[in-house]
Amino acid sequence: MAAPSLLNWRRVSSFTGPVPRARHGHRAVAIRELMIIFGGGNEGIADELHVYNTVTNQWFLPAVRGDIPPGCAAHGFVCDGTRILVFGGMVEYGRYSNELYELQASRWLWKKVKPHPPSSGLPPCPRLGHSFSLYGNKCYLFGGLANESEDSNNNVPRYLNDFYELELQHGSGVVGWSIPVTKGIVPSPRESHTAVIYCKRDSGSPKMYVFGGMCGARLDDLWQLDLETMAWSKPETKGTVPLPRSLHTASIIGNKMYIFGGWVPHKGENIETSPHDCEWRCTSSFSYLNLDTAEWTTLVSDSQEDKKNSRPRPRAGHCAVAIGTRLYFWSGRDGYKKALNSQVCCKDLWYLDTEKPPAPSQVQLIKATTNSFHVKWDEVPTVEGYLLQLNTDLPYQAASSDSSAPPNMQGVRMDPHRQGSNSIVPNSISDTMNSAKSEHTAMKGASVKNKPDLKASTDSNAILHSSLATNASNHNSCVVDMLRKNEGPHTSANIGVLSSCLDLRTVIPETSVSSTVSSAQTMVTQQTIKTESSSTNGAVVKDETSLTTFSTKSEVDETCALPATKISRVESHAAAMPFSKETPSNPVTTLKAGERQWCDVGIFKNNTALVSQFYLLPKGKQSISKIGNADVPDYSLLKKQDLVPGTGYRFRVAAINGCGIGPFSKISEFKTCIPGFPGAPSAVRISKNVEGIHLSWEPPTSPSGNILEYSAYLAIRTAQIQDNPSQLVFMRIYCGLKTSCVVTAGQLANAHIDYTSRPAIVFRISAKNEKGYGPATQVRWLQGNNKKAPLN
């Protein structure tokens, strides 16, 4: 974690949709990149459900239905997959609840559930301010505050330290309550404490950690419950323990429990002489406990003043959600003397990256031309940009620095929450989770709505995923030494190139990367995705991501990969932008003897890039871009070099967040095309017919002459594939001038089912002109999750 002075808090200042009214006592959970907020109070208790998409920066109100619970505050709120459980809380002043509700976020369907009471003892009494923690198929309830009076206007508080276990049914519903028998000294009664559950990766049993709370005075004690032995203990810790507090938040990221905010005793108050502190204040202090070493670390102390509004102001009763390694904080109340009733609710949304982002996937090729690459990589959650670099064995010769250079944007912060073209308020969670993913939809800003299960035998039943066969080459130097003894047009082999033509005798490991085939086909793909839950009021959540991600095996064994294909006309192209100097720096990379210099292609906001040039660092400079220091290059002042036809380039990419530049990806290598060869066929379609399936495609958009013939191939089952699933073996099933063919049921019976991502049958189609065969388009025909024969 960065030192306190380097914490890079970010306030979200640009968002769309209906923003919830400010409140405190609300609760929040995360479902993937979505933050879901329920309840809380401020001039009345809120009863609506709000969703914030951290990728598109959109607030929206889903159309919920079913047994909608009344509004509540200081309740229990946990998330298990795509279902959320709500227990207890205050439903009106002095009246508390012990009811349990379940929300199926896949359908926005509320349901009131009635768990069986414990076999011995009573079920939990109505309460607020309790902790409600999930681990596995059980929720753990501890403590809270009850009202002893039957008259809600005559509140007689009773602090609780009872402990319950709630067993859940898989997917939906609950079994019932139980009262585990615990060992050791039980924590004192309390409310408005926190409880998190952590289990070491390699060993150890899960443990619940209870911190702080209120029992007439604020508490700063830490308790541990071993969930296997049910033994309570009070672990000894090192470092500075945070001040006693209540209404704070505790969030687990990795092996750290982050404590933020809450009510703490007023400055100068003697806690020993004022056990029932009459004055308290909110705090913005921020600490974490390393749960492996039991050591506290203070990141922001109570004594640190913030005169520049560079971090959240003091607050209590807020919510905190961890999405990846990023912490989000929203709303809460601020004030110093509750007795004067002067607190004010905050309406701001902040986030903080707690560590550098992980390495992205390898760079993957969407399209190659003679002097450019269109590349992509898998998105990394909660990042602000990507640094793309390349190197080559060619000597660097600077291109002329002209008006094509980007403008000088140094000192301009790239706002990761600025709304671009995607300004449509989503109707569903699946919209919000996929609208920003060009890998899946290639349509930035277009929501995918109401994707029905079109499994009926129609043309649109073919669920297509097109990718490129990046092992095709158009260069004489690409002769490979992997020749097989197989001969003849129907040889079982992968598509490769020998002496600038398609070589049916060469076997090269598959190096496919994902791509859309055309805008029309993209729509078909979206409309025919198999859903696991039906549409309700236009709001759908897939239990899995609705559009699959391709296998990211983009490492090229040969240095002559030259894929190219038609790209969707609506796929957005990211623009290189200089990044803010305010981001922490990346360490210097020292070149080894004989190692080629890595050069910046640029910093990109999205996970795609159109590469035709790269930037040359000043002579003698041997460090990569340093983000956040004066050493960051001003791209507008650097010389650029164009890509050269028929040349191999190595790529790597690193993600950037508030903590700096993360590690680089594995290296991928691609080669620019040689002029004269045809591009890859596009707009591939598959439909069923009486003989088997009908496979059709469109001619290459860049034929570079007359197309003499097409070849279509089918990946088939062989012992070789069973030993090495990543090395596909293809059989040619068609050769001719037509842009369609029939694949018979007999041929499909021999098809290999590729399980590298979702089960699919793999086809490849390539075109030939006077110079020879160009690169192939690869298509994955999804088969569902069973291993039955195709067409069943």
For 188-217, how does the pLDDT look when each residue is reduced to its tens digit (9 = 90+)?
A: 999 999 999 999 987 789 999 999 999 989
Three-class DSSP category at 430: helix
Query: CA 85, 89, 91: angle at the middle one, nearest 5?
Result: 115
Segment among 141-150, 200-209, 349-358, 390-399 with least mean pLDDT? 390-399
Phi, psi for residue 263 in degrees, rounded to 5: -90, 130
Which pLDDT does position 458 carry in this prediction? 32
Taking residues 615-639, report their average pLDDT.
64
Segment among 229-233, 237-241, 291-295, 501-505 with least mean pLDDT? 501-505
* CA dist 555 → 16, 601, 722 (Å): 40, 20, 20
pLDDT band at 790 (very low <50, low <70, confident <90, very high): low
Q: Provide the 10 A C-beta neighbour count for residue 65.
A: 13
Q: What residues have CB less than 8 Å from 579, skipping those under 6 apart?
A: 384, 385, 387, 414, 603, 625, 627, 632, 656
- Can you tell me the distance from the alpha carbon of 541 to that of 424, in angstroms, rounded to the nearest whole number? 18
DSSP secondary-structure letter at 642? Answer: E
Return left, alpha or beta for 637; rule: phi > 0 is left, psi -120 to 50 is alpha, else beta: alpha
Task: Pick 115 or 308 by higher pLDDT.
Answer: 115
pTM above 0.75, yes or no: no
- Can you tell me the distance from the alpha carbon of 776 to that of 767, in angstroms, rounded to the nearest whole number? 7
- Which is nearest to 660 in space by CA: 385, 300, 415, 418? 385
Segment among 13-27, 347-361, 770-784 with least mean pLDDT? 770-784
Which pLDDT does position 747 carry in this prediction? 93
- Can you tell me the distance from the alpha carbon of 331 to that of 35, in angstroms, rounded to the nearest whole number? 13
- Can you tell me the distance from the alpha carbon of 267 to that of 301, in angstroms, rounded to the nearest whole number? 13
Q: What residues have CB less than 8 Å from 159, skipping those under 6 apart?
A: 143, 145, 189, 190, 191, 214, 215, 216
Residue found under tokens 């750290």: 256
Q: Provide the 10 A C-beta neighbour count for residue 7.
A: 19
Taking residues 632-640, report their average pLDDT.
81
pLDDT band at 725 (very low <50, low <70, confident <90, very high): low
Taking residues 638-649, report their average pLDDT.
91
Check pLDDT > 90 for residue 106: yes
Q: Where are the alpha helices (DSSP H) in 583-738?
A: 719-723
Q: For residues 332 and 263, is the Cβ–Cβ distance under 8 A?
A: no
Taking residues 373-398, report their average pLDDT.
86
- Can you tell me the distance from the alpha carbon of 543 to that of 529, in angstroms, rounded to the nearest whole number? 13
Buried b (16+ CB within 10 A) or exposed e, 315-345: bbbbbbbbbbbbbbbbbbbbbeebeeeebeb
Beta strands in 633-702 (DSSP E): 639-642, 648-657, 660-664, 668-671, 682-688, 692-698
pLDDT band at 427 (very low <50, low <70, confident <90, very high): very low
- Can you tell me the distance from the alpha carbon of 459 to that of 619, in angstroms, rounded to the nearest whole number? 58
- Can you tell me the distance from the alpha carbon of 127 to that of 139, in angstroms, rounded to the nearest whole number? 16
The encoded tokens of residue 608 equal 């795609």
Give the helix/strand (H/E) hosting 253: strand 249-253
Tell me the HSE value of 97 on the side-chain side, using a 13 A CA sphere. Answer: 19
Q: For residues 96 and 127, is the Cβ–Cβ distance under 8 A?
A: yes
